[in-house]
Amino acid sequence: MTPSILGTASKMSLGTDVLSRIGHTPLLRLRAIERSVPHVTLLAKAEWFNPGGSVKDRAAWSIVRAAERSGQLTREQILLDATSGNTGIAYAMIGAAKGYRVTLCVPSNVSQSTLHTLRAYGAELVLTNPLEGSDGAIVEARRIAGASPGRYYYADQYGNAANWRAHYETTGVEIWEQTQGQVSHLVAGMGTSGTLMGTGRRLKAYNPSMHVVALEPDSPLNGLEGLKHMASSIVPGIYDPAFPDQHLEIATDEAYQAARRLAREEGLLVGPSSGAALAGALQVARAIEQGTIVMIFPDGGQKYLHETFWTSDE
């Protein structure tokens, strides 16, 4: 007997929720830029393919799930954290999808695009002193949590082990499988350091000779949103400075130039922190005889289009 159309459709999947789309991002080869370093393979983990638009979806989702499992986060509580942008967007998206109220402490000088996105998801914002950067937001989040114990679940992305574990369990595994174990170098910027620590630990578990390169801005005052200049910042609790095999400092202008190059030579519109990853990877490439370098590209470039560096030819 031929099944009816209705009967067939009832057995089919009718879609998935937005949170199921976190992870499994593509690995893109930079063939045009490879021409300048033909002895290496350059691969970019394209994290803007996550539904919230950045790598931070992974950490935020891991933090929320761990808090739910432990009973630390309940429906009666407000999810609270400090953020410079992308993690806040991830929290706000997850909160909207899961029905949690979200309060975020954010430096007031973050882009209007970021602020509009956070508000669109329904997050409550506490704007902090722009001169204090993400550290000022952290101090304020701690103050709010301490003043109202029990009312908030303070997620503390900078000190929460579920942050780096997200990348140990997903990002590192994906990179190993996508490169069929050929990856020799990992290059990643540091904000909370969760991406670097978790991905690097997983890749070193697969191959102890994996070379892990940590990137940070070259000065406290920089234009690399989401990255920390560790020497002048509150150092994240999850960061182990002895773990990376190599540390590189990237100038803002160098990252901007690399972001422009990615747009114009590869057709990839990415944010400045992704430009920093390419700049660092090229430094590594010039110093080795061969290798397969994987860079973490944290987010896309749409929310940075107001920046003037896109049209600069310098």
- Per the annotation, the verdict on 56 as an active-site residue is yes
* Catalytic entry in 62, 193, 273, 274: 273
* Catalytic entry in 45, 56, 228, 303: 56
204: buried, middle or exposed (CB in 10 Å: 19+, 13-18, 0-12)? middle
Q: How far from the centroid of its chain's Cα atoms is residue 242's Cα?
A: 21
Q: What is the dihedral of CA 11, 14, 15, 20, to 10 degrees?
A: -40
- Per the annotation, the verdict on 273 as an active-site residue is yes
Measured CA to CA, the distance from residue 238 to residue 195 in angstroms comes to: 11
- 40-46/27-29 β-pairing: antiparallel
- 185-189/211-217 β-pairing: parallel
8: buried, middle or exposed (CB in 10 Å: 19+, 13-18, 0-12)? exposed
Tokens of residue 263, six digits: 């747009």
Which residues are annotated as catalytic? 56, 273
